[in-house]
Amino acid sequence: MRIERLRLADFRNYVELDWRPAPGVSVLVGPNGAGKTNLLEAAFLALVGHSPRTRREEEMIRQGAGEARIAAEVEAGGHRSALRLRLAPEGKRIELDGRPVERLGELPFRFPAVLFQPGDLLLAQGAAAARRHFLDEVGREWSRSYDAALAATRKALAERNALLRRLGPGASPKSAALLLEAWNEAFATAAAGLLRRRLALLGGLVGELRRVHAALSGEEALSVRYASSLPAAGELLAAGGGPPAAAAEEAQQLEESLRDALRKALERVLPAELERGFTLVGPHRDDLRLHLRGRDVRVFGSQGEQRAVALAMRIAQFALLRARRGEPPLLLLDDVFSELDGERRERLLGLLLPEAEQTWITAAEEGQPAGSGALLAIAGSERVKWFRVFSGSIGEVPGGDRAAPSR
């Protein structure tokens, strides 16, 4: 998949832009504040339907303008599509081939994009919520049924939590159990479906994550384990413990086992839930545990090791979706060379050049140590185009001469 043309009007610091990115790798260089990250944000927003940086959509409208517009011409699955997005104070409107997009959840599946940004360091050093969000993000691009199971689980969880808060710590567990019965069943059914799909997802994702991390680090073995808040399901949900896609009968049996385990767990923890006012077991409480040399990366990993693990997670996401869909998603790498040593940078580029159909990489000004050595290593590749971004404009740098951009 690739973007063949991207047009912006009054988006962030871009008054107007009309850019035709080439296949292969586009390296975007320029000073801080020039608009490199904004360009990646615009592409991600057009394809996926939401910004990776903010929930306040009015922030993306250029100061002094009444609205912002993005238009993207996309080739995916052998078909060309036209995406149009309008951001205004009253809301957001997205059109696909001239028709309004009613369900934003459909976009990530049709137009998958993988973005690495500096905040992704939280995947390796942050709380469990960051890694759960990562799994759900990958799952929504991986399967429509995952997206449906996630939505059903969130709805049942919200309703059950609301009832727990209304009942409060003074409620009788026996009476509360009767009142919660319907939402217990709805939550157990939806959550079991989500957990079963996470197992299938992890069956492919973990292998890619270990492979990519080994390629980036050279030799370090990354250990990955899915830690479930559901004790009875711990072994079933061990990452890599099952096939990537179980047969229909096996999947149904697994889902039933998970549902039964969830029912029993909800009964057991009900008194504690009444005290605390929220659901204590289920996929919303789980984590992906990452270890290097037997030690938790989150606690004991160096900044460089954590960044390499976080980057490996995004590249693994890219590789899994490419295998699943038969074509690579758009790969966006923002400030990817920071805190990666020269050897890891070269290994990263060795992974990307043969695998990606279209990749955009932002980098600091040429000559800065954060990325210059790695960038010079790919300067001669025919699959690499260089662009200089400055004050909301972009120009290709011809012939690999990055001293003077074209205008």
Same domain, 102 and 129: no
Instruction: Identify the pLDDT of residue 25.
Output: 86
Q: Exposure string (b/e) for 330-349, b if CB count within 10 Å is 16 or more?
A: bbbbbbbbebbeeebbebbb
> How many Cα atoms are found within 13 Å in the side-chain-facing hemisphere of 30?
26
Instruction: Identify the pLDDT of residue 404.
Output: 36
Question: Can you give the pTM of this predicted structure?
Answer: 0.89
Same domain, 159 and 272: yes
Low-confidence residues of the chain: pLDDT under 70: 232-247, 339, 365-382, 399-407
Flag whether 22 is in a domain.
yes
- Read off the DSSP letter of residue 221: P
Same domain, 32 and 66: yes
Cα distances (Å, whole numbers) of residue 90 to 11, 15, 54, 56, 93: 16, 21, 17, 12, 10
Phi and psi dihedrals of 326, rounded to 5? 85, 0
> How many Cα atoms are found within 13 Å in the side-chain-facing hemisphere of 91?
2
The model's pLDDT over 275-320, given as tens digits with 9 standing for 90+, comes to 999 999 999 999 999 999 999 999 999 988 999 999 999 999 999 9
Flag whether 222 is in a domain.
yes
Flag whether 115 is in a domain.
no
The one-letter amino acid code at 201 reads: L
Flag whether 16 is in a domain.
yes
Take residue 308 and report the two structure tokens written for it.
């390499």
Rounded Cα distance between 41 and 127, Å, is 24
For residue 271, the tally of other CB atoms under 10 A from its CB is 13
Domain containing residue 373: 2-106+331-348+358-400
SS3 category, 77: coil
Same domain, 135 and 82: no
Element spanning 91, H or E: strand 91-96
The total number of residues written for the chain in this structure:
407
Instruction: Identify the pLDDT of residue 381.
Output: 60
Which residue, chain included where needed, has tokens 């995947």?
Answer: 123
Q: What burial class does residue 37 get, using C-beta atoms within 10 Å of its C-beta: 0-12 exposed, 13-18 middle, 19+ buried?
A: buried
| Beta-strand relationship, 393-397 and 384-390 | antiparallel
Instruction: Identify the pLDDT of residue 405.
Output: 35
Flag whether 407 is in a domain.
no
Of 368, 403, 373, 399, the closest CA to residue 384 belongs to 399
- The DSSP code sequence of 233-276 is GTTTTSTTSS-SS--HHHHHHHHHHHHHHHHHHHHHHHHHHHHH
Bridge partners, 92 (sequence order): 87
Take residue 179 and report the two structure tokens written for it.
């009142």
Same domain, 236 and 278: yes
Rounded Cα distance between 51 and 37, Å, is 12
CATH number for the domain spanning 50: value is 3.40.50.300
Rounded Cα distance between 377 and 384, Å, is 11
Rounded Cα distance between 253 and 258, Å, is 9
Element spanning 396, H or E: strand 393-397
Flag whether 138 is in a domain.
yes
CATH number for the domain spanning 224: value is 1.20.1050.90
Same domain, 285 and 165: yes
Instruction: Identify the pLDDT of residue 223.
Output: 93
Same domain, 205 and 282: yes
Mention every residue, 6+ apart, whose C-beta is less than 8 A from residue 250: none
Flag whether 18 is in a domain.
yes
Q: How many domains does the chain have?
A: 2
Same domain, 63 and 136: no
Same domain, 14 and 102: yes
Rounded Cα distance between 75 and 5, Å, is 10
Dihedral sign (CA 242, 246, 249, 255) = positive
Same domain, 79 and 135: no
Rounded Cα distance between 405 and 398, Å, is 7
Instruction: Identify the pLDDT of residue 370.
Output: 41
Give Cα 134 to chain centroid, integer Å.
Answer: 5
Flag whether 37 is in a domain.
yes
| DSSP3 helix / strand / coil % (the chain, rounded to 5) | 50, 20, 30
Same domain, 79 and 197: no
Rounded Cα distance between 11 and 59, Å, is 9
Same domain, 369 and 290: no
